[in-house]
Amino acid sequence: MTPDELRSFLTAYELGSLKKAAGQMNLTQPTLSRRIQRLEDVLGVILFLRSPSGLTPTAYGHALARRARLVVQEIELARREMARIRTAAGGSVAFGASPGVAVGWLPAALDRLAHRHPDTNLTVVESVSESLVDQVIERRIDFAVCTAPLDPSSDLSVEHLGRDPFVVAAHRTHPLLARAPVPLAATLEFPWIMATFRGAVRHWVETRFEENGLPAPPARIETSSMMMLKQVLDDARHLSYLPARLIAADCPDIVALPCNPGMVLQRDLALIRVSQRALSPASDRVIDVLRETIEDLPPLRIPGL
């Protein structure tokens, strides 16, 4: 039972003639007749008595007409609402931001959006980059601003927005800072707290240690909470590996730990979207403001480096 079949039935019901209904709908009579026949087959009833003088609705036909009008009206209302959301000055946008973006400069972009497009409704999902890319692919969010994937799917559009460096992070009173640059092996003398998600960044850290003949740093604590991670670092014992943007924007007592050999991972910050998916005008407006905001950012200064 499709919307077209219901519309065809209602037109025939109201006009009482296959010929008139087919003409009004710009269909051939056989096509219209087949649509009504499919409805009768699905419902298992006769909707019209057919005669040379036209169509006479049965009791089943009258009952379906009452319900079909409501269904068709709701479909039309839904179509209009979708069109309004897609083309209106406001609209709704759902997008993702990695922690460094969400804390580092997204608030400035949201402030610009509030002034320029106050009617736009936003849903912002904060998560690690790998999770956000999955949500873009699954169409759960419209786009994401996060660390670019190392091996993006051919279905994705990846637009470079800037650099997104990651660093070894420690409290500014951590004892290792007195030994800077810190031998990499010395970092294994202290506990680490790491993000739960074992993505490309975590893999790079472990590989970097292994390349220098060292075991990967064992994570004493793993967490998905950035707030908890920052609080644990305040003990001046734990180390972690974090986006430099997050440290610069929201962690005044956390600095980058200079290591020897170096442990700064330079990644691309990118706008991730499905390449063949047309975004709404509201999404395009949000993206324009995000691009403009990041272009206006001052050069990133990494505390400790």
The token duo for 297 is 């950012």
pLDDT digits (tens, 9 = 90+) for 125-159: 998 888 999 999 888 899 999 988 888 888 899 99
Predicted local confidence at residue 237, as pLDDT: 94
**Residue 119: count of CB within 10 angstroms of its CB:** 9
Q: What domains are defined for the chain?
A: 3-87 (1.10.10.10), 92-164+268-295 (3.40.190.10), 166-260 (3.40.190.10)
Number of H helices, E strands in the chain: 11, 14
- What residues contact residue 101 under an 8 Å CB cut-off, 6+ apart? 145, 146, 245, 269
**Which pLDDT score, from 0 to 100, does residue 174 have?**
96
Comparing C-alpha atoms, which of 110, 20, 12 is closest to residue 56? 12
Distance linking the first and last C-alpha atoms of the chain: 66
Q: What is the rounded average pLDDT for all residues in the chain? A: 88
Q: Indicate the length of the chain as a whole number.
A: 305
% of residues, the chain, pLDDT over 70: 95
Structure tokens at 254: 């956390």
DSSP H or E stretch at residue 255: strand 254-256
**E-state strands within 1-135:** 48-51, 54-57, 92-97, 121-126
Q: Please give the Cα distance from 128 to 266 (Å, whole number).
A: 16
Q: What is the pLDDT of residue 215?
A: 96
Q: Is 235 helix (H, G, I), strand (E, B) or coil?
A: coil
What's the pLDDT tens digit per position in 54-113? 889 999 999 999 888 888 887 886 776 676 666 555 678 999 998 888 888 899 999 999
Q: How far apart are CA 201 and CA 194, in angstroms?
A: 11
The candidate with the shortest Cα–Cα distance to 142, out of 210, 180, 91, 200, is 91
Q: Rounded to an integer, what distance in angstroms lies between the CA atom of residue 83 and that of residue 265?
A: 44
Residue pair 48/58 in contact by the 8 Å Cβ criterion: yes
Closest by CA to 125, choosing from 303, 276, 272, is: 272
